[in-house]
Structure 1
């Protein structure tokens, strides 16, 4: 199957392109730069936020494009305008299957621009008239991830003699492995699965436990220094616009809410043995 992948050069995209190739498919990767695509993948230059893509020859489309920080691109451009352009391209060529990556916790009324724009993107997909599948992953981990390999690693590996802990650190999360996310998309494509599904890993952790696992993976042991939430509530909006800010306003709002859900029974056949943090983190985290 010839599959257009929007965001195929990103963190999840690279894993999914590799899985599609293993399944005998031809990924058509739409992006601004090719970034060393593997043999068999076809690069299509384009910017989904600015132009309607030519989908001629694509039998299905997977929209993975997403940002967690607004650096040069806005949430609205990537999560809403890009989806609009893709759907217009599908309309011009007669439709086809659409698989869309949203995020766990997505809904309106959260105060998070990330969630709000993701919710708008979901609404566009559902109203498109296409055959669609929406996956809502929790935190995604694996080599190259931004949360464990970026945010948590920087906290644990900093020269400080302690690890800052937001509040009491009890916010719950259920992270999912990037390879399992890719497998879910590929299986849904091949089986014709439709609907909206939360996508989580096999185990729930608190934020404090995520920091402890990160420390164990890199071989560090430091005490925690709890930072009261009222202080964080004041500091984050002031620091968030700065380029070196360790956490943005949207990330902070999502962190306090937590990010967890039960593992969907409908996905048991697709992911019979999802990987856990304990298996994967030590394979790629280093200070």
Structure 2
């Protein structure tokens, strides 16, 4: 990949996925604009490229004129904007549908040649979960405005700043048990953030990726219980895995989502999401069709960043266990 004369605008580029993607895009030689609400927080990414190559760009995705400025002169646009829960003025409709539609519409008007929209595995207009319905609506809005857009649907994404393994590892430090919501049978296909970033970059080089949707899952399918067991083994903690029936989980989510904290531990909508497996559909285009054959596994990557949760540092003589 070499885009030395081009400009790439990445919406939401200062987040978890963005910081890994920006480093890869910088290697292409392109000028990379990080369109974000708070450009100061994206300043650390400037060192990923040459002087002046990585440009944090103050952008309000709720306003046409702000999005237009971020896309002025851009050749490629990548949308990473997404939220895991609704809180205050942060809504699924605003983040996943309205902002996505605005970016796609203005990208088309401004002559952007490629648009990559990162959605989520499980996006479904008929889902009982608002999150999944909004992701599906966002995809449709993007394709309506920019038919040649590439849609990427990753399963849960793991890596150093993830909100899955880190959350449960932190919970294991203080809680005597971890919740097995719905019995822990829901299946996931976690994808490493670095592999997702590689997929985004690879899609830019393939004409065959235009107008297509790719489902991205890692090399192995796990049950929710297996993921919690892996977490406990990694942080060397013995914690009981407590089965929580769906009804009790919905009640708990209803309580926790109202607690005035930065990120709720659980919401009712997340409980609805957990009722469906989050794995790649049979026959769906995925990493292979993007030219990526080797994928990182949880067993290899997760220990590299959860070690900080181990009391006294790494100690291979003290095994973790889950019941």
What is the TM-score normalised by the length of structure 2? 0.83
Q: Which residue of 2 is the match for residue 148 of structure 1?
A: 165
CA contact (8 A) 1:5 1:62 kept: yes
Deviations 1:101-120 (A, max 9, x none): 01000011212221111111
Gapped regions of structure 2 (runs ≥ 5): 48-52, 310-323
Alignment match of 2:78 (pick from 62, 75, 85): 62
Aligned residue runs from structure 1 range 1-287, under 5 A: 1=3, 2-34=7-39, 35=41, 36-39=44-47, 40-52=53-65, 53=67, 54=69, 55-71=71-87, 72-150=89-167, 152-158=168-174, 160-192=175-207, 193-194=209-210, 195-244=212-261, 245-261=264-280, 264=284, 267-268=287-288, 270-285=291-306, 286-287=308-309
CA contact (8 A) 1:100 1:133 kept: yes
The CA deviation at 1:234 is 2.8
**Hey, what's the Cα distance between the residues in 1 that align with 2:34 and 2:218?**
27
**Hey, what's the Cα distance between the residues in 1 that align with 2:300 and 2:222?**
14
**Hey, what's the Cα distance between the residues in 2 that align with 1:155 and 1:226?**
16
Gapped regions of structure 1 (runs ≥ 5): none
The CA deviation at 1:262 is 5.1
The CA deviation at 1:86 is 1.2
Partner of 1:214: helix, strand, or coil? helix
Deviations 1:208-264 (A, max 9, x none): 000011011111122222222232233322332223441112211112212112585
User: More deviation in 82-91 or 194-203?
Assistant: 82-91
CA contact (8 A) 1:155 1:164 kept: no
The CA deviation at 1:265 is 5.6
RMSD (Å) for aligned C-alpha atoms? 1.8
What is the TM-score normalised by the length of structure 1? 0.93
User: More deviation in 170-179 or 50-59?
Assistant: 50-59
Equivalent pairs, count: 285
**Hey, what's the Cα distance between the residues in 1 that align with 2:150 and 2:303?**
33
Partner of 1:223: helix, strand, or coil? strand
**Hey, what's the Cα distance between the residues in 2 that align with 1:60 and 1:17?**
13
